[in-house]
Chains A and B, each alone.
Chain A
Amino acid sequence: MSSVARRGELVKLSRLLGRPPEALGFLTALDVAQLRAVRDAISARLFDDARPVLQRVATGAKLLPNGLTARVGETVFGSTLCAQIAGLLSAPHALDLALRMSNGFLAEVSAMIDPRRAGAVISQIPTDRVVAVAHIMLERRDYVTLARFVDFLSTATIAAVIDSISDELELLRIGAYVESPAKLGELVGLLAADRVRAMISALRGADGIHWMEALAIAEQLDDGWRRTLGDHAAALDPAVLCALAEAAHRFEVWPAALLLVLAMSEPAQRRFLELPILDRPELVRALIAAADTLDRWPEMIELVARVPEARQPALVAAVRQRAVRSSRASEA
């Protein structure tokens, strides 16, 4: 799992604990799955602690007109408590209250709510309100929350949000934090081919974080989508593939980049293999190490067979040497 997924988990856990993500730096020994399990356990504990009182508040809310309840919720209870109470109200009641609250407040509640406890409400919010709230989250650069909601919104609503976001790199940043690989594939499928190409082109001049996020997405997707994205990248200016290789090396995420390359069509792979940058010994070493990490040697050998030895002698020699060592080891 990528460092991007890890950062997303740390952001969610830090919100739950009311601390900045940097305050959780001591959790470096936990992987993404462990961080998620810790967050789930703490979230359940905090909710269960307050449940009896929250339940009484939810019951009390029925005694008041919804307009007053919404106002008191927004001005007195605040986003964290409203996020907890939402899951204890009937879906129609919670929806009516949500629609009476400001978009800014809904964006705050969204950052604190566990969507799994309020999925029935989230899915009923009209598309125009979802789009408006999504743009407030974008202004706040709250990509983590935007990504959390994709599992609970209809495809049509997600498509409307995507259409309303003109900056492809913003879409990329949201996609990087989507937890479900299947949903991520569905989202990529909602993008027109020209937007995918625009997104990849924009990466050429982008800073490192965007490349890390792009490669985190590639890592999550299946080979079919990797092939589509990889082929789009290869069809653009060779400088794009060069920037991909440089970013993979600089941020030490060659395994994710190699997954993308291995999934490409043959012509796209050839374009990648012709990159002059691949004659750098340190890149060759990193590629070999990535193939080891992924344990995808048969495909790696097949890939390198597509490049004339004269073009990339260092890479071809390194792969041959590694393949011989591997076959000797298996014979022994």
Chain B
Amino acid sequence: MTELDTELGAHIEALSEGEQAALLELVCEMRARRAAELQAAITNALEQVPRVVRGALRRVLF
């Protein structure tokens, strides 16, 4: 989170410490959610493709 903290730094100076923390918390939650969604989508996608390409696709994806 430190990187994002730095990236947002100057733009969120007007917020109180509590508000800054609340915003960073929302970003943190979204990062985790996106990562989980992406992993789940990849797993599900492998089920949807023909067996014949599944191996090759798995090698590319993982």
Contact = CB atoms under 8 A, between A and B. Distances in A.
Describe B's contact surface by its main secondary structure: helix
A17 B30 contact: yes
A30 B11 contact: yes
Given A54-B38, A60-B60, A29 B48 contact: no
Contact of A76 (B31, B45, B57): B45
A16 B15 contact: no
A72 B42 contact: no
A42 B49 CA distance: 33
Interface in A32-49: 34, 37-38, 41-42, 44-46, 49
A68 interface: yes
Contacts of B3: 45
B61 to A, nearest CB: 5
Interface size class of A (residues with CB under 8 A): 35 or more
Interface in B1-39: 3-4, 7-8, 11-12, 14-16, 19, 22-23, 26-27, 30-31, 33-35, 37-39
Interface stretch (A4-12, A77-85, A215-223): A77-85
Q: Count chain A CB atoms within 10 A of each CB in B15, B22, B62 and give the residue with the most.
A: B15
B49 A16 contact: no
A36 to B, nearest CB: 9
A56 B19 contact: no
A75 interface: yes
A63 B44 contact: no
B33 A18 contact: yes
10 contacts: A17-B30, A26-B19, A26-B22, A41-B8, A41-B11, A45-B4, A45-B7, A49-B35, A64-B49, A76-B48
